[in-house]
């Protein structure tokens, strides 16, 4: 089995100027928790210029959290907003590929780490562990404490600058990453959480647990989105409910939270994600576009409404 400590030259240590500070865990011996070698000067807070923080959650994997994050970022940018995307899925970081930023590197500045910008206008800023790996196929085989340390750094040490929205992509579940990111963001009063599900019972069952997580951690639920909601055959236009139907709307009703919409299965959207293209700009006629645009408008409305977060 892999040793608890891989050592400073271990394959699983990302290429950052880190040293290790010991913090024993659970009586199992030392667990090295990475901290930066050069102490970051206490900035006023790298999130102080961020107006609204939205977490995208789902108890279930593969429902489209990263897809929603990417499309929301693009939609909000087309509405003239400055957007950041923080990807705290450390084991399976999808955001760099989906937004065409694969292979970009992270640099340091006086206030911390510089996010990767999608464009020259710096309208979309990204941070993901995907930018920190030597090789794209490298597995980040970390237990909780190391993941938590990196997430805390992502929250406090990235120089986001002035942003209208910071969208946070998460892995599936209700564990280390979720607890850590919610705790780290608590003092910044997030707008809330967007919960993504697919229609079938197996997904809804996990998302119900995620709703409990939001309630227990005091995270407001902005709404539920049902993704992969039906497929219109491109040959005959017959709509088939590939992953069943209705689960997302029923879940929102049961939980007493807003239902923000259903996004159909759309091979053109899937292709755009593969290629890191701008689906929201290039395919306004595609089946998924109207629902995604409507969800973005509802997020804008929620941000402008008076109330908590």
Burial label, 228 (beta-carbon count in 10 A; 0-12, 13-18, 19+): buried
Q: Which is nearer to another protein, 50 or 196 (CB)?
A: 196
The window from 41-49, 152-160, 167-175, 185-193 that contacts another protein (CB under 8 A) reads 167-175
Contact yes or no for 132/106 (Cβ under 8 A) = yes
Contact yes or no for 179/55 (Cβ under 8 A) = no
248 annotated as ligand-binding: no
Contact yes or no for 59/172 (Cβ under 8 A) = yes
Rule CB under 8 A: choose which of 15, 45, 48, 91 binds another protein: 91
**Positions 257 through 296 that interact with another protein (CB under 8 A):** 265, 267, 270-271, 273-275
**Positions 192 through 211 that interact with another protein (CB under 8 A):** 198-203, 205-206, 208-211
Q: Which is nearer to another protein, 144 or 290 (CB)?
A: 144
- Do the strands 221-226 and 231-232 form a parallel or antiparallel pair, or are they unpaired? unpaired
Contact yes or no for 101/136 (Cβ under 8 A) = no
**Positions 222 through 251 that interact with another protein (CB under 8 A):** 231, 233-236, 238, 240-244
Establish if 256 lies at the interface with another protein (CB under 8 A): no
Residue 201's Cα: distance from chain center in Å? 23
218 annotated as ligand-binding: no
The window from 79-87, 105-113, 141-149, 157-165 that contacts another protein (CB under 8 A) reads 141-149
User: What mask, x for binding another protein by CB under 8 A, covers residues 94 to 133?
Assistant: x--xx-----------------------------------
Q: How far apart are the first and last CA of the chain?
A: 44
- What values do phi and psi take at 246, rounded to 5? 85, -10
Helices H / strands E in the chain, number of each: 9, 14
Rule CB under 8 A: choose which of 44, 80, 109, 137 binds another protein: 137
Annotated binding site: 59-66, 233, 236
Annotated binding site for ATP: 59-66
């Amino acid at each position: 089995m892999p040793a608890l400590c891989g050592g400073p030259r271990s394959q699983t240590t990302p290429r950052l100027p880190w040293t290790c500070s010991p913090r024993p865990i659970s009586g199992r011996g030392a667990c090295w928790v990475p901290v930066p070698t050069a102490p970051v000067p206490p900035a006023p807070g790298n999130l102080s210029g961020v107006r609204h923080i939205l977490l995208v959650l789902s108890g279930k994997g593969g429902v489209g959290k990263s897809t929603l994050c990417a499309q929301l970022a693009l939609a909000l940018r087309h509405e003239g907003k400055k957007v950041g995307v923080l990807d705290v899925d450390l084991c399976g970081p999808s955001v760099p590929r989906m937004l065409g930023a694969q292979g970009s590197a992270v640099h340091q500045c006086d206030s911390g780490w510089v996010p990767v910008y999608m464009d020259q206008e710096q309208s979309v800023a990204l941070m993901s562990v995907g930018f920190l790996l030597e090789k794209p196929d490298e597995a980040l085989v970390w237990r909780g404490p190391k993941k938590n340390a990196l997430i805390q750094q992502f929250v406090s040490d990235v120089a986001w600058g002035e942003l209208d929205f910071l969208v946070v992509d998460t892995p599936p579940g209700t564990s280390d990453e979720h607890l850590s990111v919610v705790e780290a963001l608590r003092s910044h009063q997030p707008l809330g959480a967007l919960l993504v599900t697919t229609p079938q019972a197996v997904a809804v069952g996990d998302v119900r647990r995620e709703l409990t997580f939001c309630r227990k951690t005091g995270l407001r639920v902005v709404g539920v989105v049902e993704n992969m909601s039906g497929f219109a055959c491109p040959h005959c236009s017959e709509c088939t409910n590939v992953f069943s139907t209705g689960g997302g709307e029923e879940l929102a009703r049961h939980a007493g939270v807003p239902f923000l919409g259903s996004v159909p299965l759309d091979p053109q959207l899937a292709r755009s994600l593969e290629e890191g293209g701008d689906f929201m700009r290039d395919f306004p006629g595609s089946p998924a576009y109207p629902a995604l645009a409507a969800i973005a408008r509802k997020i804008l409305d929620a941000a402008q409404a008076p109330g908590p977060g």
